[in-house]
Homo-oligomer: A and B are copies of this chain.
Amino acid sequence: MKKSKLPSPRVQRNREVATQSILNAARAIMREEGVAALSMQGLARRMDMRAPSLYNYFSSKAEIYDTLFRLGFTLFDAHIRELMKTSAGLRDELRINIEGYMSFALENPDLYQLCFERPVPGFVPSKESLALSFGILDQSYQRAAQFKKQLNTKLTGQQIVDTVIAIAHGLTAMHLSNEPHLPVGQGRFGSLIPVVLSILEQAMPIKGESK
């Protein structure tokens, strides 16, 4: 048996700094050359290291992706929560969900693709990472239950959320693959957000508002 002491604070801090630095470099590569273009060699090159040294911080390339997957969902959650603070009612909340989905994708294209598309061949998120992502998405369903009570519709809460997710995802995917340089609200698909919002509001009017 080896003696296994826990690492000193100083060592821990150094590790933490190095680890973050590697993740940032990985994200930069993913943004510049595509999510799947990340290579241990290229990453090491950018860090002024040799590839095997990276294995001191991550046990594999998949673990780097997995860590960024978790970061993506954490940041997505924070992004939506932040925007929600400005909400003035149900109507706003719907808009924020769709715009927030797209703006997150535009601001973090690397994490967006990793979390919401399947850009990396062999990569499957770990059990724990998937649990985290489901937990975050589940919150939307929680909210939808209340949501629904104030709307005039036959749809269930889950149907409403799923429809909104599908629309937000569809608009975002098309926007990203056609006009990724344009901000939310602009371009062929970006400008459709108000359109789909008005369509949704017409189909599910808020109780007690004028038709």
Contacts and interface: CB of A to CB of B under 8 A. Distances in A.
Interface string A4-38: 00000000000000000000000000000010110
A166 interface: yes
Interface stretch (A43-51, A67-75, A189-197): A189-197
A202 interface: yes
Tell me the number of copies of this protein: 2
A183 interface: no
A135 interface: no
Given A188-B158, A195-B159, A170 B166 contact: yes
Most buried by B among A155, A174, A189, A195: A195
A118 interface: yes
A183 B174 CA distance: 24
Interface in A172-211: 173-174, 177, 188-189, 192, 195-196, 198-200, 202-203
A169 B166 CA distance: 8
A151 interface: no
A192 B177 contact: no
B174 A173 contact: no
Contacts of A52: none
Interface of A: 34, 36-37, 117-119, 121-122, 155, 158-159, 162-163, 165-171, 173-174, 177, 188-189, 192, 195-196, 198-200, 202-203
Given A159-B192, A165-B174, 8 more contacts: A155-B195, A159-B195, A166-B171, A166-B196, A169-B170, A169-B173, A198-B203, A199-B203
